[in-house]
Amino acid sequence: KAGVTQTPRYLIKTRGQQVTLSCSPISGHRSVSWYQQTPGQGLQFLFEYFSETQRNKGNFPGRFSGRQFSNSRSEMNVSTLELGDSALYLCASSRGDSDPSYEQYFGPGTRLTVT
């Protein structure tokens, strides 16, 4: 079974620009979660999608948004980039149904650098 894939793997953007990151979950997984990882704050939950609906949201500003498509693939968008948005953005997929404790399978991440 193929793992979670994320594109692009590396990205350099300028302050004020916007960026879209993509995530393809493991086949059959319907839940996709997004996390931001920085040295100072660690791994922080952004949002989770299941069957094209956002079920959970973390404490991030509205500049961070996401969506999920009917094939479970997901994208996240960050508008008006700030230097502090530089981070590793991780996507994780899980079965997402019946039992919330299902383990999450993480992708390799997208390393975003904002200059």
Partner 1 sequence: SQKIEQNSEALNIQEGKTATLTCNYTNYSPAYLQWYRQDPGRGPVFLLLIRENEKEKRKERLKVTFDTTLKQSLFHITASQPADSATYLCALDPSAGGTSYGKLTFGQGTILTVHP
- Which positions lie near partner 1, rule CB under 8 A? 4, 31-33, 35, 42-45, 48-50, 55-56, 58, 90, 92, 94, 96, 100-101, 103-109
Question: Is the Cβ of residue 6 or residue 19 nearer to partner 1 in the bound state?
Answer: 6
CB of 80 vs partner 1, minimal distance in Å: 25
Question: Is the Cβ of residue 41 or residue 71 nearer to partner 1 in the bound state?
Answer: 41
Question: Is the Cβ of residue 42 or residue 62 nearer to partner 1 in the bound state?
Answer: 42
CB of 16 vs partner 1, minimal distance in Å: 28
Residue/partner pairs of 42-49 with CB below 8 Å, 24 or more apart: 43/90, 46/76, 47/76, 49/74
